[in-house]
Amino acid sequence: MNLLNNLISESELKKFQKSSSSELAVNQKAKLLYRQQSSRKGFPRLINNLQKLDNQKKEVVEINNIPTTLVFNPTRSQSIKSTTFLKNEKLNSCVLCNTPSNQKSFLFLNNRYAILANPGITIPGDLTIPATSHKKQTIYKNFSDMLKISHKLTDYSIYFNGARAGASCPHLHFQAGKEKKLIGEKQIFKALDKPNFNGTDILSISNSDINFYYLNNFVRECYIIRSSQPKFLTEIFQFIMNKLREVNKNFGVESHVPEFGNYISAFDEYEEEARVNLMANYQKSSKKYYVVFFPKRTNRPRSYYSDKHRLLLGMGIKESLGHIITCQESDFKYLKLNPNKIEAAFQDTSITKKQSKTIINSIRSYLS
């Protein structure tokens, strides 16, 4: 596995420090790795993509009074167009098992994960965090690792895309981005900071161990769980995933939504896990974990398959967090003038409010 052969030493990372330090914490190492990889002798694909982003077009549009960022970012073309879950990918062709020799990484969490600079950039500084052994891109049994990563990488938010909810690689991996940089992430934390959680914007259900929040009028369905205890978070996470799986089983027949439970070639098995985008963040000041769910039906809206005006959109975690990425300039211009099409993409890919009501009622009983 090339991933384990391309490790960078701490002494090499220290060459990119602006001030000396005897030992590097994980947050420092991640930032220094990105600095090394984007330097003149770093990772060419990352360097080229950073240059492309110099002329990135960006616009803030309102979707039902919710500000949403629209960007033209050609560096994300590969992931948006990915068809990897339509084929049974062998180990010798897995992009995360076979990273280029100049894509450096360092090991993390008892050598079970590596941290790499992500060349598919949303915001400079983005990381990819793959498992060091080839495992399936599933979260149910790996959620505790997501929490552990967020607790270590406290300057970042940690992201996960499910297999049919935006992931472009079947090898278990998380992403990380500098915290509170995406517009939807800022909006979520602002909503949670309000003194009255029972207003028109947010529904709160709590007990002494867990807070559960549901954002109303957020265009897409969004739940947040908060606790200082990983054990309680893991328990309610698995409860919600089981309830979402029941909802997934009852998806209606729609041309753009794959039937739940179908065979996934890249896994060589049938679909078992509820479709979600996730974000995890650990706040040192409050010593609390925040986990944000975006329950999904699929990651590609009807417009992706349209003959009339096809829009290349992949509605993964970054899009769920209000950062709508287009890889074609024509799509950027069209969506800028037609923001209702972004709303349609959210509605096409999110579960419905009626389906959410079932989940919320279950959570109310669980926390009572």
Q: What is the DSSP string of 96-154?
A: TTS--TTS-EEEETTTTEEEEE-SS-SSTT-EEEEBSS--BS--TTTHHHHHHHHHH-T
By the 8 A CB rule, do 57 and 72 touch? Answer: yes
CA distance 107 to 115: 6
Q: Which residues pair with 170 in a beta bridge?
A: none
CB atoms within 10 A of CB 142: 15
Q: Mapping DSSP to helix (H, G, I), strand (E, B) and coil, where does residue 171 land? A: strand
Whether the predicted model's global pTM rises above the 0.75 cut: yes
What pLDDT score was predicted for residue 200?
47
Mean pLDDT across the chain, nearest whole number? 92
Query: How large is the greatest C-alpha to C-alpha distance in the chain, in angstroms?
Result: 60
What pLDDT score was predicted for residue 198?
43
Q: Give me 234's structure tokens.
A: 């893991």
Express each pLDDT in 74-107 by its tens digit: 888 877 887 767 666 666 678 899 999 999 999 9
Among 245, 315, 317, which Cα is nearest to 281's? 317
Among 83, 52, 71, 15, which Cα is nearest to 326's? 71
Among 72, 61, 56, which Cα is nearest to 338's? 61
Range 119-125 average pLDDT: 93
CA distance 201 to 189: 12
Range 272-295 average pLDDT: 97
What pLDDT score was predicted for residue 338?
96
For the chain, give the percent of residues with pLDDT over 90. Answer: 80
pLDDT at 317 > cutoff 90: yes
What pLDDT score was predicted for residue 4?
85
Domain architecture of the chain: domains with CATH: 2-367 (3.30.428)
What pLDDT score was predicted for residue 104?
97
Type of residue numbered 215: L
CA distance 213 to 207: 12
What pLDDT score was predicted for residue 22?
67
Q: Give me 158's structure tokens.
A: 């940690």
What pLDDT score was predicted for residue 19?
74
Range 197-204 average pLDDT: 65
CA distance 111 to 108: 5
